[in-house]
Structure 1
Amino acid sequence: MRDLDWTPDELSQDILNWYDRNARSMPWRIGPKERTTGTAPDPYRVWMSEIMLQQTTVAAVVSYFERFTRRWPTVSALAAAQDTDVMGEWAGLGYYARARNLLKCARVIVTEYDGVFPDTYDELLTLPGVGPYTAAAVASIAFDRPETVLDGNVERVMSRLHDIHTPLPGVKPELKRLAGDLTPNARPGDYAQAVMDLGATICTPKSPACGLCPWRLPCKARKTGTAPELPRKTPKKPKPTRYGIVYIAQSKSGDWLLERRPDSGLLGGMLGWPGSDWTDAPNPAPPFAAQWRELKAEVRHTFTHFHLILAVQYAEFPADFSPGSPYEVISLRDFRVSDLPTVMRKAYDLYRLP
């Protein structure tokens, strides 16, 4: 890695010095000052935060993390939780397979590891919902192992530091190699968090604050003026649009008719309004015969791979209505709109508009 005029040790020490002064405060993080007193990170909290942070911002995660760890303060407590309770607390955070894997992983750790997190990359990688990035992050941050952590922030920092114009995702192996060259054996957990903090606060996607960067002198993209352009990305294909119908039904006493979605697939295991498949041309399939009326407004929501437009129909169901699986009648007292995934809450909000 001699394409820069600084040695890896010099670069890693520079950013650690910067981190010691500028580390972000997060509820799952043990800061550099605490680390010097011998306080070690809790692997459970590190793992929980990394699962929540997948494809989600820190700002969105903080309140969920605090609520989860108050309710389930240990991995054993989480492993013993009811699936529906966990899915309900997760509602609104998105990417619901993460919540299902969270429970699976907690139960594996309790049953196969006696409630103690494995501390190596290879063992962590065998756990449900733990991929290469998460395994490296937990091994590094929780156990101070010199693993290479490569998230979007680190990719951006590396591509600018070395002025690399090969587009993502194809350039990922090269960026990981470069990031690995800089990962020190001393304080690798702090170093990993330092690079991620640098990308999140200084080396930002737009208008990077190069004048404040601890790597401003060795940064090749700053010298060439190409930093704002990097990293380059292969153009994404346009997202298709799918359509569907949701049916909101309530009894005279205020009870709601909901549907438990299958465990696999989008919104797996979540409660939501009964509805059609999400296709180019959905077929109406109301949960019961009634004079269904349609709202003028539509629900619009975007998932990772497609846009969704939902028509909303509503009706009243009789007091003696006894639906079979997958439908459930939830009493007005027990109904919490916060338990619904975001797309279903949007339908509820439209229905409740005056």
Structure 2
Amino acid sequence: MARAESLLHWYDRHRRRLPWRDAPAPDPYRIWVSEVMLQQTTVAAVGPRYARFLARFPDVGRLAAADWAELAEEWAGLGYYARARNLHAAAKEVAAKGWPGDAAGWRALPGVGAYTAAAVAAIALNEAVVPVDGNVERVLSRVFAIETPLPRSRPEIGRHAASFMEQEAARARPGDFAQALFDLGATICTPRRPACALCPWREECEAFRRGIQDTLPVKPPKAARGAIFGVHFALFDREGRVGLLRRPEGGLLGGMPALPGTPWRAEPWEDAEALPHAPAPAPWRPCPGEARHGFTHRDLSMRLFRAEADSMPEGLEAVSLDRAGAILPGAMRKLLDLL
């Protein structure tokens, strides 16, 4: 059995310096925000955005009281925008009812899954639970040589993760133990060419003993990604401002600012079909090229038309191109490149 004590000894010497670890004492709000931001996003991308987010929303009360438009603007470019909607909804619940006292209470908040609940409970509340993310799945798949493919192996991985809390060292420092697992997976037990020579669990790792660490975890073949298509419209007023609207709640980029356009569908749009979706009658001109953006399971291709108008029609907000570039989500910012 891999010893929690040896991993914690390694962590005390080699832990990553991350902004959400800088507080004198673990803060549920700071830990929660960092965990939500880090979902499907890299540490390098989150670091500067995390500091900016806390400057704008320094506590859960400020976040709960903010308008969705303000939060959407701050989240622009981080992707997976349902995270921001759920964070906002959960913040309102916490502001009204108080902080949850354990992982089960966190799990009951809107949009908080098992991993996030366990991570906040372990790190901020010192609860004896082990959060399992992709890094931890990879580490434990190798340490215990689990050859069952993901996702079928997750129950077994979860049982092994929970078993660490039977060890006194892990039970005494559950937050540090969780973060040690994260750091081990991020810096040593990496997806490709793990640095086994530097690993504190090398002698206890069954995959290393058998020489199969590079083959684990076993993942199923990737599903084919679907293609979707859209046409969008950049309408400029006399001051050179472009018209934006807010996408409907739900679905891709739900609730986020966007250029008006057609729905996104599986078939390309002909101009004659697309132009009736323009926000106003105008001499629309096509911009050369296409903007492409990859979502989790779909690849989006978009074309852009532009036109000028004396005034902005109802339903569109006129904003400068600089501001549009700051508040639009990544997919929409790629459309601006076509201008």
Instruction: Please give the TM-score of this superposition, normalised by the length of structure 1.
Output: 0.90
1:3 corresponds in structure 2 to none
1:43 corresponds in structure 2 to 28
Q: d(CA) in 2 for partners of 1:322 and 1:130? A: 39
Q: d(CA) in 2 for partners of 1:175 and 1:158? A: 6
1:261 corresponds in structure 2 to 247
Asked whether the equivalents of residues 287 and 305 of structure 2 are also in contact (C-alpha less than 8 Å), the reply is: yes
SS in 2 for 1:276: coil
SS in 1 for 2:338: helix
Match of 2:313 among 322, 328, 338: 322
SS in 2 for 1:196: helix
By percentage of residues, which structure has more helix? 2
Can you give the 5+ residue segments of structure 2 that lack an aligned partner in the other structure?
none
2:174 corresponds in structure 1 to 188
Aligned Cα root-mean-square deviation (Å): 1.5
Q: d(CA) in 2 for partners of 1:334 and 1:174? A: 50
Asked whether the equivalents of residues 279 and 313 of structure 2 are also in contact (C-alpha less than 8 Å), the reply is: no
CA 243–331 in structure 1, closer or farther in 2 if over 3 Å, else same: closer
Asked whether the equivalents of residues 235 and 307 of structure 2 are also in contact (C-alpha less than 8 Å), the reply is: yes
Asked whether the equivalents of residues 75 and 106 of structure 1 are also in contact (C-alpha less than 8 Å), the reply is: yes
Match of 1:236 among 189, 201, 222: 222
SS in 2 for 1:296: coil
Asked whether the equivalents of residues 121 and 127 of structure 2 are also in contact (C-alpha less than 8 Å), the reply is: yes
State the AA in 2 paired with 1:291: P
1:300 corresponds in structure 2 to 292
Output one character per residue of 1:226-255: Cα deviation in whole Å (capped at 9) or x when no partner.
Answer: 111110111121101111101111012212
SS in 2 for 1:217: helix
Q: d(CA) in 2 for partners of 1:200 and 1:44? A: 23
State the AA in 2 paired with 1:347: L
1:174 corresponds in structure 2 to 156
2:101 corresponds in structure 1 to 119
Match of 2:211 among 212, 215, 225: 225
Output one character per residue of 1:98-128: Cα deviation in whole Å (capped at 9) or x when no partner.
Answer: 1111111111111112xxx212011111111
Q: d(CA) in 1 for partners of 2:175 and 2:12? A: 13
Q: d(CA) in 2 for partners of 1:217 and 1:80? A: 52
Output one character per residue of 1:13-60: Cα deviation in whole Å (capped at 9) or x when no partner.
Answer: 000000000110111115xxx8xxxx4201100000011111111111
2:335 corresponds in structure 1 to 347
2:95 corresponds in structure 1 to 110
> Is 1:312 matched up with 2:304?
yes
State the AA in 2 paired with 1:63: P
SS in 2 for 1:98: helix
Tell me the matched-pair count: 329
Q: d(CA) in 2 for partners of 1:21 and 1:292? A: 61
2:81 corresponds in structure 1 to 96
Can you give the 5+ residue segments of structure 1 that lack an aligned partner in the other structure?
1-5
Q: Could you tell me how far 1:322 is from its partner in structure 2?
A: 3.0
1:197 corresponds in structure 2 to 183
Match of 1:338 among 299, 319, 326: 326
Q: Could you tell me how far 1:218 is from its partner in structure 2?
A: 0.9
Q: d(CA) in 2 for partners of 1:52 and 1:243? A: 28
Instruction: Please give the TM-score of this superposition, normalised by the length of structure 2.
Output: 0.94
Output one character per residue of 1:290-310: Cα deviation in whole Å (capped at 9) or x when no partner.
Answer: 221112210011001100110
State the AA in 1 paired with 2:11: Y
Match of 2:8 among 8, 16, 20: 16
Asked whether the equivalents of residues 255 and 329 of structure 1 are also in contact (C-alpha less than 8 Å), the reply is: no
Asked whether the equivalents of residues 241 and 280 of structure 1 are also in contact (C-alpha less than 8 Å), the reply is: yes
SS in 1 for 2:171: coil
Q: d(CA) in 2 for partners of 1:332 and 1:206? A: 44
> Is 1:57 matched up with 2:39?
no
Identity %, equivalent residues = 47
